[in-house]
Amino acid sequence: MKRVADGLTASRALIALLIVLLSLGGKDALSWVIYLIILGWTTDVLDGELARRAQRRLDGEDPEIQGEWEQTWLGEHDFALDMVMVYASFLYLTLVGYVPPTWAFGYTLLAAVAILLSHGSKSVTEIFAFPLVALPLIIAYQEGLWVAYAYIAWIVVMLVLFWGRFVGVVKEFIAGMRQLLRV
């Protein structure tokens, strides 16, 4: 199960590359970018579920191997690969002209400084990533692309299926911000 989860995690690097390459197709490739984003986030949901199931299986099946499960290198870098995919979509939007390059540079610089000053805080990274995650959907909706509705439907389905995990992520974000604000 870990190998499958790692394969799904690694696939986001390939998806990110494809998203950037689609910039060669210009604005007409936006629908394909949205499809790839949906695919990428689906792999993120699935790899997390597989990793958690593998951990639960090991925790419950054999008391002698409890605690011996180790996260793989790819598992440890899951969030970083998520951010690579997020930034790839932002780069696509910039390269094809949806986002002015000066704005993109300024936002990237501001995010980098804030993340560095927070010592790489995941919560601070998420604050800057969220607008970049939403931006392709917003632009697709403004462009009148039906794929925007498919993306919204996907979000709704994922929330229904994995509400508990979503709540856990929000709690982790809040805890991270509280910890950062105590420093």
The whole-number pLDDT of residue 3 equals 85
Q: What is the mean pLDDT of residues 2-13?
A: 90
User: Tens digit of pLDDT for each residue in 90-100?
Assistant: 999 999 999 99
Cβ proximity of 165 and 48 under 8 Å:
yes
Judge whether residue 171 has pLDDT over 90.
Answer: yes
Distance CA 124, CA 161 (A): 27
Judge whether residue 19 has pLDDT over 80.
Answer: yes
The whole-number pLDDT of residue 60 equals 59
Helix axes 30-61, 2-21, angle to 10 degrees: 170
Judge whether residue 1 has pLDDT over 90.
Answer: no
What is the third-level CATH fold of 2-182? Four Helix Bundle (Hemerythrin (Met), subunit A) (1.20.120)
User: Tens digit of pLDDT for each residue in 39-82?
Assistant: 999 999 999 888 777 776 665 555 454 555 577 888 889 999 99
Cβ proximity of 144 and 88 under 8 Å:
no
**What is the chain's mean pLDDT, rounded?**
91
Q: Which pLDDT band, with edges at 50, 70 and 90, does 15 fall under?
A: very high
pTM over 0.85, yes/no: yes
User: Tens digit of pLDDT for each residue in 120-137?
Assistant: 999 999 999 999 999 999
The whole-number pLDDT of residue 84 equals 97
Q: Which residues of 95-108 are buried (b: 16+ CB within 10 A; e: fewer)?
A: bbebbeeeebeebb
Q: What is the mean pLDDT of residues 160-179?
A: 93
- Domains of the chain, residue spans: 2-182
